[in-house]
Amino acid sequence: MERRSFLKGFGAVSACVALVPTIASAADDAKKVTGPNEMSVESALAAITGGKPVTPSSKVSLSAPEIAENGAVVPVKVTVESPMSANDYVKAIHVFGSKNNNSRCANVYLTPANGEASFATRIKLGATQDVLAVVEMSNGTFLSAKQNVKVTIGGCG
């Protein structure tokens, strides 16, 4: 009787131990799932800037929540200080989720007719990460702003 219960207990322990590698490999497999447009923020940035420097600037204001209770809908708003005149305007606003499988969210090409360089949308964030806005000015320089968004899972359903 005693031996039996001991064996049972041992069985349970070894089942747990055996489970460990299974979990680990499942996690590895999960990492392998990639989307059709997988691209890191570094590659995406290089494609846009052609290697030109990107300078963090207070002219670019990026608002996103510090904590998002739902990663599927994260509001993001970018505004850039600019006269938006024919020879001095914001050419483009690019928004990235730095750790998303495809880091690119939107590439927005503006014209002086916008009157104001602003763009707002809602993005999906797979995990806690930096949201990055990179702005291309009409003189060919690149400015940026970023904010960390913590994604939590809240509540009940």
Partner 1 sequence: MRKLSICAALFSLALCGVLNAEEAMSMNAADKAMYAEMLENNPAAMDIAEGEELFNSLIGQEAYAKVLGVSVKDLPETIAGFPRMLMATPKYDFTFPKTMRKVVTLSQSLQMALADRDKKVLKLESKEMVKMTAYVKSLANDLKTNIDVKANKQMEEMVVLGKHIFEERRGGRGLSCNSCHSADIVGTRLRMQELPDLGAPATASASTWHAYRMTQSAMVSFDKRMQQCMKNALLAELPLGSKEMVALEVYVTNMGKGNTIQIPGLKR
Partner 2 sequence: MKTLVKIKPKDYNIGDIVKIDFMAMHPMESGMRKDKDTGAIVPAHYINEVNFFFNDKMLTKMVTWESLSVNPVLSISMKVSAAGTLKVLAKDNKGESVETSAAITPKG
Answer yes or no whether residue 127 interacts with partner 1 by CB under 8 A.
no
Residue in 41, 62, 68, 110 binding partner 2, rule: CB under 8 A: 110
Residue in 82, 98, 100, 129 binding partner 2, rule: CB under 8 A: 100
In this structure, what DSSP letter does residue 85 have?
B
Give the binding range for partner 1 (CB under 8 A) out of 2-10, 34-42, 65-73, 79-87: 65-73
Residue 68 tokens read as: 């998002």
Q: Which residues pair with 142 in a beta bridge?
A: 54, 136
Answer yes or no whether residue 26 interacts with partner 1 by CB under 8 A.
no
Q: Which of residues 32-71 bind partner 2 (CB under 8 A)?
A: 33-37
Residue 14 tokens read as: 């070894």
61's CB contacts (< 8 A; 6+ apart) are: 78, 79, 80, 145
In this structure, what DSSP letter does residue 39 have?
B
With vertex at residue 123, the alpha carbon angle to CA 100 and CA 57, rounded to the nearest 5 degrees, is 80
Answer yes or no whether residue 114 interacts with partner 2 by CB under 8 A.
yes
Q: Contact positions toward partner 2, by CB under 8 A?
A: 33-37, 72-74, 84, 97, 100-111, 113-124
